[in-house]
Amino acid sequence: MTITYAVFFFIFGLVFGSFFNVVGLRVPKQESIAFPPSHCTNCDRRLTAIDLVPVLSFLFLRGKCRTCGSKIHWVYPLMEFATGVLFAASFLIFGFSAELVIAILFVSLLVIITVSDIAYMLIPDKVLLPFAVVLLVLRFVIPLDPWWNSLVGAVVGFLILFLIAIVSKGGMGGGDIKLFFVIGLVVGLSGSLLTLFFASFIGAIAGIIQLRIRKQGRKTPVPFGPSIAAAAIIVYFWGDAVLGWYFGILS
């Protein structure tokens, strides 16, 4: 039965991932997420059901628009697939518990900001703020142990990134700083610090890969949001295991 539910969550995630692509791409441009309906950004043809099946349409159409043949970015199907996997993982890790609500919301936020940060180097307040408010309220109803851990994690995470932004003179965007507030709310103080540690590591690797692939100069900025999102998910799902292993080695 667990597997059936996990598959259900996966499919549920695929569909929502498709919606998160739209939110991540349209909200920063102040566009409505409902209108106009999905269309090819090149030839403006309105997409029909065949074009809109998550992941499968991309594979079936070999990543091209049916009418004009322009390339569809691989980020879209990747984000749909990632959302499916993360929704299923949320269920497998937390089961039908109250924390599952936080997990689904947290994963959703991280997917949306990854899309907008890759597309525009921007993490929009219009996305961050509603998630921050809802997660803040939920963390009082479904608290960490001790209950103030989430608030301390949020404030400390925010302040550390704020300091890094000042020291690095713009190396860190305002969106990254605010995002860390929300991450701290969800994962608490140790989780927040561990996320920063992993994010720096993932960000460094992503930077090296990007340099190799695109042969861009060092000046080309790499969005940090996707690295933070990946780190936050690792920590939220497996942070206790990582910390337990680490302190196990020390003792």
Return the SS3 of 46. strand
Contact segment (CB under 5 A) with Zn ion among 61-69, 86-94, 134-142, 234-242 equals 61-69
C-alpha 247/C-alpha 244 separation (Å) is 5
Query: Which ranges in 95-224 belong to alpha helices (H)?
Result: 99-120, 125-141, 149-167, 174-214
Residues 232-251 that bind Zn ion (CB under 5 A): none
Closest CB 51 distance from Zn ion, rounded Å:
10
What tokens were used for 214?
A: 């695109």
Q: Which of 237, 215, 195 is nearest to 100 (CA)?
A: 237
> How far apart are the C-alpha atoms of 37 and 47, rounded to whole Å?
8
String of contacts with Zn ion for each residue 101-120, x by CB under 5 A: --------------------
Q: Is 68 in the site for Zn ion (CB under 5 A)?
A: yes
User: From the CB of 67, what's the least distance to Zn ion, in Å?
Assistant: 5
Q: What whole-number distance in Å separates Cα of residue 210 and Cα of residue 217? A: 10
* Cβ partners under 8 Å of residue 86, min gap 6: 13, 107, 111, 233
Measured from the CB of residue 88, what is the shortest distance to Zn ion in angstroms?
32
Binding letters toward Zn ion, positions 24-43, x by CB under 5 A: ----------------x-xx
- Residue 61: CB minimum distance to Zn ion, A: 10
Three-state secondary-structure class, residue 201: helix
Question: Interaction with Zn ion in 153-192: which residues (CB under 5 A)?
Answer: none
Q: Please report how close the Cβ of residue 40 comes to Zn ion at its closest, in angstroms.
A: 3
State yes or no: residue 65 binds Zn ion (CB under 5 A): yes
Which residue lies nearer to Zn ion by CB, 72 or 222?
72
Distance CA 205, CA 180 (A): 20
Q: How many CB atoms lie within 10 A of CB 226?
A: 21
Give the number of residues in contact with Zn ion, rule: CB under 5 A: 6
In the complex with Zn ion, which residue's Cβ is closer, 75 or 211? Answer: 75
Taking only Cα atoms into account, the Rg of the chain, rounded to an integer number of angstroms, comes to: 19
| C-beta closer to Zn ion: residue 65 or 193 | 65
Q: Is 72 in the site for Zn ion (CB under 5 A)?
A: no
For the bound state, the minimum distance from the C-beta of residue 187 to Zn ion, rounded and expressed in Å, comes to 41
User: Where on the chain is the footprint of Zn ion (CB under 5 A)?
Assistant: 40, 42-43, 65, 67-68
